[in-house]
């Protein structure tokens, strides 16, 4: 039996908030997952997205890993919500068409360069926090780890999204 203290319960509750924020904001922005950057969620759909709520159990295995998962969930939710107004206003199909039009006029290398540069700044921020924490035993260290993971996720999921978008643009695929 796993015993947990109030800190662990708090991390789990905040992780639940972060996961719900990610799922609900994604649902508001892209109900058909057409604009979803995460290829795993795109492939397996909403059932997988809802199943990701099981991540709230991670802090009961390791509070440190729970903190890292919490940071990623909160950051993804924040990112979704910060641009959600535009996608909700345009609608999923119009937002998809806008991105396709931009991809047809832009260059894949430029898009990837901006993506990787932004992700690198996020990763560096996480590494700085890890270094400032003084020890892997400090919760702030694992907060930094979460920031690093988020930066890597931006790079990986963003790359998949950009490559898919530019491939669709090159094929002349219409928005759905």
pLDDT tens per residue, range 140-161: 999 999 999 999 999 999 999 9
151 part of a folded domain: yes
Res. 23: pLDDT tops 50? yes
pLDDT band at 2 (very low <50, low <70, confident <90, very high): low
Q: Which domain holds residue 71?
A: 6-170
148 part of a folded domain: yes
142 part of a folded domain: yes
44 part of a folded domain: yes
Mean pLDDT, all residues of the chain:
94
Number of structural domains in the chain: 1
Query: Apex CA 101: angle with CA 85 and CA 36, to 5°?
Result: 50
CA 53, CA 24: separation in Å to the nearest integer?
12
Phi and psi of 154, rounded to 5°? -55, -50
Res. 176: pLDDT tops 70? no
1 part of a folded domain: no
Res. 17: pLDDT tops 80? yes
Pick from 11, 144, 136: nearest CA to 66: 11
132 part of a folded domain: yes
CA 132, CA 134: separation in Å to the nearest integer?
5
141 part of a folded domain: yes
176 part of a folded domain: no
């Amino acid at each position: 039996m796993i015993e947990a203290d109030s800190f662990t319960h708090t991390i789990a509750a905040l992780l639940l908030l972060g996961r719900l924020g990610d799922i609900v904001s994604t649902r508001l922005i892209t109900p058909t997952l057409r604009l979803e950057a995460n290829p795993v969620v795109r492939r397996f759909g909403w059932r997988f997205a809802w199943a990701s709520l099981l991540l709230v159990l991670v802090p009961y295995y390791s509070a440190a890993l729970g903190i890292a998962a919490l940071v990623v969930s909160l950051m993804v939710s924040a990112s979704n919500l910060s641009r959600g107004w535009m996608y909700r206003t345009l609608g999923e199909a119009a937002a998809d068409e806008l991105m396709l039009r931009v991809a047809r006029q832009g260059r894949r290398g430029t898009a990837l360069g901006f993506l990787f540069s932004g992700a690198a700044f996020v990763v560096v921020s996480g590494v700085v926090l890890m270094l400032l924490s003084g020890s892997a035993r400090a919760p702030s260290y694992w907060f930094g780890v979460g920031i690093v993971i988020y930066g890597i996720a931006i790079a990986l999921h963003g790359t998949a999204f950009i490559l898919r978008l530019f491939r669709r643009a090159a094929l002349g695929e219409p928005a759905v």
